């Protein structure tokens, strides 16, 4: 599963396509391809785990599960789920979800929820968690892109460890101070994550993600896997609030 900063990292590499004219798009039968013919790509942004390809009166939001599912001028053996074609280049998306929206991204996405945007609003998120998700487990809420856009399994695991909170803790039972600290950790770690990507050292610097023992007390970590999402927990360091 992808993380918001990985999407930003790749988006930054795609900036050379800004200002270019799209000759056509292909691959997704639900998309009105005629919209894109000869349209100028004004900007490429992100929202959470979505790439946003912005045109004059509309934009395409493409959510990718894995960064490896985006290929520039390369193809996999299977057909791409969606492709942008430029005069001499193409960007191919595999296993991705494409949606086209009229207007601007801020008309459709709440930037206050994106952990990597300057608009991120921790007070807004805290209120959302305590008012509308108080009976949920914090580990599940962190991965809910409608609450916190851009959190993936690594950010969730590392920040809960930093904040010493067990992922199965109920939001209503977690002291408010701890939740505020956790949200600060999420924003700080997302920024650090983007920096670490530049030297390909996210995994090397992770404290417990994909590790076997807690670095502090050497206790074996409890590893759970739900779907394809892994969680690592030190039951000695991370308190369960219920
Ligand atoms: Zn520990």
Task: Tell me the CA–centroid distance for residue 66 and ligand 1, in Å.
Answer: 29
pLDDT digits (tens, 9 = 90+) for 194-220: 999 999 999 999 999 999 999 999 999
pLDDT band at 228 (very low <50, low <70, confident <90, very high): confident
Contact between 148 and 113 under an 8 Å Cβ cutoff? The reply is yes
What whole-number distance in Å separates Cα of residue 208 and Cα of residue 200? 17
Q: How many CB atoms lie within 10 A of CB 97?
A: 15
Q: Does CATH place domain 112-233 in 1.10.8.50?
A: yes
| Average of per-residue pLDDT across 31-42 | 95
Mean of per-residue pLDDT scores for the chain = 96
Q: How far is CA 212 from the centre of its chain?
A: 25
| CA 215 to centroid of ligand 1, rounded, Å | 7
pLDDT value, residue 26: 95
Query: Half-sphere exposure of 146 toward its Cβ, with a 13 Å CA cutoff?
Result: 5
Task: Give the model's confidence band at 106: pLDDT under 50 very low, under 70 low, under 90 confident, else very high.
Answer: very high
Gyration radius from the chain CA atoms: 19
Q: Rounded to the nearest whole angstrom, what is the distance from the C-alpha of residue 221 to the centroid of ligand 1?
A: 8
Residue 176: pLDDT above 90?
Answer: yes
CB atoms within 5 A of ion ligand 1 belong to: 214, 216-217, 234, 236-237
- Ligand 1 centroid to Cα of residue 25, in Å, is 50
Question: What is the distance in A from the centroid of ligand 1 to the CA of 113?
Answer: 30
Q: How do the domains of the chain map onto residue ranges?
A: 4-109, 112-233
Q: Using pLDDT thresholds of 50, 70 and 90, give the confidence band for residue 29.
A: confident
Q: For residue 227, what pLDDT band results from cuts at 50, 70 and 90?
A: confident
* 112-166: pLDDT as tens digits: 999 999 999 999 999 999 999 999 999 999 999 999 999 999 999 999 999 999 9
Whether the per-residue pLDDT at 28 is higher than 90: the answer is no
Please tell me whether residue 70 adopts helix, strand or coil conformation: strand
Q: Quote the ligand 1 centre to 225 CA distance (angstroms).
A: 19
Cα separation, 73 vs 193, in Å, equals 27
CATH, range 4-109: 3.20.190.10
Paired residues of 224 in beta bridges: 231
DSSP result, 135-175? TSBHHHHHH-TTTSBT--HHHHHHHHHHTTB-TT-BGGGS-
Q: How far apart are the first and last CA of the chain?
A: 28
Output the CA 219–ligand 1 centroid distance in Å: 6
Residues 63-94: tens digit of each pLDDT:
988 888 999 999 999 999 999 999 999 999 99
């Amino acid at each position: 599963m992808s993380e918001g900063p990985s999407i930003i990292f790749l988006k930054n590499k795609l900036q050379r396509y800004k200002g270019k004219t799209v000759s056509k798009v292909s691959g997704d039968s639900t998309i009105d391809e005629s919209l894109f013919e000869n349209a100028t790509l004004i900007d490429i942004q992100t929202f959470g785990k979505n790439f946003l390809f912005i045109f004059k009166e509309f934009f395409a939001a493409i959510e990718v599960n894995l960064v490896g599912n985006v290929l520039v001028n390369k193809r996999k053996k299977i057909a791409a789920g969606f492709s942008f074609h430029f005069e001499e280049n193409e960007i191919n998306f595999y296993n991705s979800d494409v949606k086209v929206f009229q207007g601007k991204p801020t008309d459709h996405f709440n930037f206050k929820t994106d952990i990597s945007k300057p608009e991120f609003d921790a007070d807004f998120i805290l209120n959302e968690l305590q008012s509308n998700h108080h009976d949920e487990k914090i580990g599940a809420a962190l991965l809910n892109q409608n609450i916190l856009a851009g959190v993936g399994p690594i950010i969730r695991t590392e920040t809960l460890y930093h904040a010493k909170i067990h992922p199965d803790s109920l939001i209503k039972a977690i002291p408010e101070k701890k939740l505020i600290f956790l949200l600060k950790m999420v924003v700080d770690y997302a920024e650090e994550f983007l920096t670490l990507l530049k030297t390909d050292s996210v995994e090397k610097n992770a404290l417990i993600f994909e590790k076997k023992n807690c670095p502090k007390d050497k206790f074996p970590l409890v590893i759970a896997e739900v779907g394809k999402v892994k969680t690592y927990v030190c039951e000695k360091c991370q308190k369960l609030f219920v």
